[in-house]
Structure 1
Amino acid sequence: MKNIFYILCLLVLVESCKSAKKITQTTAPVAKVETTDKMRIDARKWKEGIDFYAVGNESDWSVDIDQQNEIRFSTKDGDKLIFFKKDVNWLSDSEYSFTASDEAVEFSFNALEQDCSESIPAKQFAYSVTINVNLKGESKKTTYTGCGSFVSDYRLNGEWQLLQLGNEKALESDFYGKIPRFTFVMDELSFRGSGGCNLISGKVKMGFGKLSFDQLISTKMACKQGKEGELKQALDATRFYLLEDDKLTLKDENQQILLVFTKAE
């Protein structure tokens, strides 16, 4: 009888340990995804409608350019200027400029894409910025130098699945049995994914409503009778984008639809 009692106690103890183990596994803490300073800044700036922002090398001035073309320039001395910029003059794929003015002041702006981290080590900016402010009627102008960055559309973060190539629905049979998916990492201005056969990755460039892909690279697997080649050509030709709800549309320089993606679940 005692032996039976001991056996029953042992079985109860074993089952209790199993239950405790299950509970421990279920309630294990979930790892948190770290949010970088740039992601926080870009998210805040985007919600404020800012498209490009810059700061002085000594933090002695700042400028915000919003999506409605309004320029807000201020200095540490309390000077504040508000303009509406004219058409942007793209001097090359990596440099642009514009001018603006009011009754008293002329304002010129130039941004050149190059590493600006030496000037402001604590930040990561892609553009070196030069601003000239000139009071009308005076020959002397004041020059400000610093670093700037386009605001990344943080809504692009995450994985997107191809829905449409041109005007045709994306089919698994066109991409070797697997619909292409791409992941955007806007903090790094990069993307990566699969075209169905080969891995594809590159850099994302944004600015004034434009989006394009740079430094596109892919693996070199030989894949026939598919549309991966057309997909890569469309990525290379992308110049504009439209994001509505969970649908991302990429367009060429003539605003013709190239690719349509939906947010992957």
Structure 2
Amino acid sequence: MSPKTVQLVFFLSLFVFFGCAPIKDTKNTESPSPVSDVEAAGSESSNPLKAMDINEYYFMASGISPDWTLDIATDRIRLKTGGDTLNTPHINPDRAMDSNVRRYRLITEATEMTIQVHQKPCESESGTSSPYAVEVEYKRTGESGYTTLNGCGAYIMDYRLHDIWALESLNGEEITLIEGLERPTLEINSRNYTFMGSTSCNQMRGAVFYEPGLLRFNKVITTRKMCPGGLEAAFLKALQSTIHYELGDRRLRLTNPNGAELVFRKVD
């Protein structure tokens, strides 16, 4: 075999080897999408969005004049106006200049839509109150102008929170009860965003602010009996300062970034 023939065979071998080598999958090498506050609120095991069924809606809004409904699920967003329905894939919202506003920008082959969710009290024309005001602007492909809809909405509270919980530990220390005190309890009503319970010797009630992964206890009202020791004051201070929650092993854990922690066990 001549030297030129040997060289030709060598280069043909290289071509076949590299041409048949598997191509590295680069689909996931792009920069990841920004993580929203909702996604960052918990790990995969504790994040309520991860725990939800993929077809479950976690935010709902509606309005009248005209009648419309908006449902946001973990895999899609659906807008109904009269007899018309627009479905788009789910996307994560971004934050507007005002941190209390989440904005969804959706563009598909058939629809352009912007959804703004404002964290502020909203009273509907029917007289019901909600924690969010919602504005939707949309148009179908080919239409010249946008239709604007205004209404109210709320996040659908994690159904696992709807229970009675007894306090086990406060800021890392197990609860020790002295004479005259009972174990603090917390009963959360996920249907009307309220709670009630006991502080250790007084009854309490208030409102619950909820977003996936976030839980705040507001507008706390208690009876005025004098309680021995400092358990009630420490409990109420921690309860009103916690903002995150985790569920698991029949426990509810409430925390905040400054180190406050309340751990409750589920009461059968």
TM-score under structure 1 normalisation?
A: 0.67
Task: Report the equivalent of 1:225.
Answer: 229
- How far is the alpha carbon of 1:145 from its aligned partner? 2.0
Paired residue type of 2:242: T
Change (3 A) 1:228 1:78: closer
Paired residue type of 1:161: A
% of aligned pairs identical?
A: 29
- Note the alpha carbon deviations across 1:85-112, whole angstroms, 9 max, x for none: 33345947xx533132336635231335
Conserved? CA contact 2:206–2:220, under 8 Å: yes
Unaligned runs of 5+ in 2: 1-51
Counterparts of 2:207 and 2:193, CA distance in 1: 6
Paired residue type of 2:56: G
- Note the alpha carbon deviations across 1:11-42, whole angstroms, 9 max, x for none: xxxxxxxxxxxxxxxxxxxxxxxxxxxxxxxx
Counterparts of 1:169 and 1:90, CA distance in 2: 43
- Note the alpha carbon deviations across 1:17-69, whole angstroms, 9 max, x for none: xxxxxxxxxxxxxxxxxxxxxxxxxxxxx654322111342574432223x48
Match of 2:160, SS state, is helix
Change (3 A) 1:238 1:222: same
Conserved? CA contact 2:76–2:88, under 8 Å: no
Conserved? CA contact 2:78–2:86, under 8 Å: no
Counterparts of 1:150 and 1:198, CA distance in 2: 30
Counterparts of 1:117 and 1:103, CA distance in 2: 30
Change (3 A) 1:77 1:177: closer
Task: Report the equivalent of 2:177.
Answer: 172
Change (3 A) 1:71 1:85: farther
Task: Report the equivalent of 1:127.
Answer: 132
Match of 1:197, SS state, is coil
Change (3 A) 1:113 1:245: farther
Alignment of 1:153-164 (within 5 A): 153-164=158-169
Task: Report the equivalent of 1:108.
Answer: 115
Match of 2:84, SS state, is coil
Paired residue type of 1:235: L
Match for residue 210 of structure 1 among 195, 211, 214: 214
Task: Report the equivalent of 1:63.
Answer: 70
- Note the alpha carbon deviations across 1:173-209, whole angstroms, 9 max, x for none: 3x84421112222222111111112222211111132
The CA RMSD over aligned residues, in Å, is 3.2
Unaligned runs of 5+ in 1: 1-45
| Corresponding residue pairs, total | 213
Match of 1:232, SS state, is helix
Task: Identify the structure with the greater helix proportion.
Answer: 1
- Note the alpha carbon deviations across 1:104-151, whole angstroms, 9 max, x for none: 6352313354353434x6x77543321122679987322112332210
Match for residue 88 of structure 2 among 54, 65, 81: 81
Counterparts of 2:113 and 2:133, CA distance in 1: 20
Counterparts of 2:226 and 2:84, CA distance in 1: 62
Task: Report the equivalent of 2:264.
Answer: 261
